Each structure stands twice: as structure tokens, then as C-alpha cells.
Amino acid sequence: MFKAMLIVIGIGMGMSVGATLAADVDAGKKVFRKCKACHTLKDGGKSAIGPNLYGVVGRNAATVDGFKYSKAMKESGLVWDEETLTGYLTKPKEFLPGNKMPFPGLKKPEQIENVIAYIVEKSNK
């Protein structure tokens, strides 16, 4: 049942069925530990060093109230979906030169798929 819900949520959030089926939310929770150093993931949560990531999938970039984004992020025109998050989380500085996230990126594609699935799952509770 949980996988079925994740598929529906993933499709509704613009994720492909293949990536959603392959994703492991529990593994994504472990990967998110790296993100927790700078980001929160709570409905109405405050931003920290980085913006709150609750509901990030489907959201326009640089739109969390009160967070000071880089000029590059504000002018990017990005909408966060599976494709843009994958590119950004792989190598943030190459994907969007001038952004201020110091994280070097995730090396393994499955880590990226899993962390996106975890963020989607946490954002829909």
C-alpha cells in the first residue's frame, strides 16, 4: 500500500514512475541526514542555513519567505522537479553557477532518487 501511495504522490509531483518505484524512502531518510545540517523539512518550519525543503518538489526556486537567496537562484527561473533536483543535487555549483549552497553534491544516483522520494513523502504527511 505504501508503494502505491508513493507512486501516486510521485506522479502527482512530476516524478517518473520508474524513479518512484526504484526509490527507497527509508534510505532517503538516511541520505537526508546530510541535508539536515542546513535544511529543515517541516510544514511551516523555519529556514536555517538553507531554506526549508518542505514541499520543495513542484515549487519555484527562491520562493521560501524570509530566506536570502543568491542572485543566481533568484534569477534561475527553476521549478524544482525530479529533473532539476537531480541535476542540482549531483553538482550544485555546476548546475547553477553562483548559487551559495556549499554542499559538493551526492555521488550516487540512487541516493538522489531516494532523498527526493523521502522529501516528497515527508512533504505529504
Phi-psi region of 105 (alpha: psi -120 to 50; beta: other; left: phi over 0): left
Distances 92 to 18, 105, 109 between C-alpha atoms, Å: 24, 6, 14
> In degrees, to the nearest 5, what angle opens at C-alpha 120 toward C-alphas 110 and 111?
15
User: For each of the chain's 125 residues, which pLDDT tens digit applies?
Assistant: 334 334 434 444 444 444 555 699 999 999 999 999 999 999 999 999 999 999 999 999 999 999 999 999 999 999 999 999 999 999 999 999 999 999 999 999 999 999 999 999 999 86
Element (H, E) at 94: helix 92-95
Secondary structure class of 60 (helix, strand, coil): strand
Domains of the chain by start residue, with CATH = 2-123 (1.10.760.10)
Query: Model pTM?
Result: 0.81
Per DSSP, what are the bridge partners of residue 60?
A: 79
Contact 88, 115 (CB under 8 A): no
Q: What is the pLDDT of residue 125?
A: 67
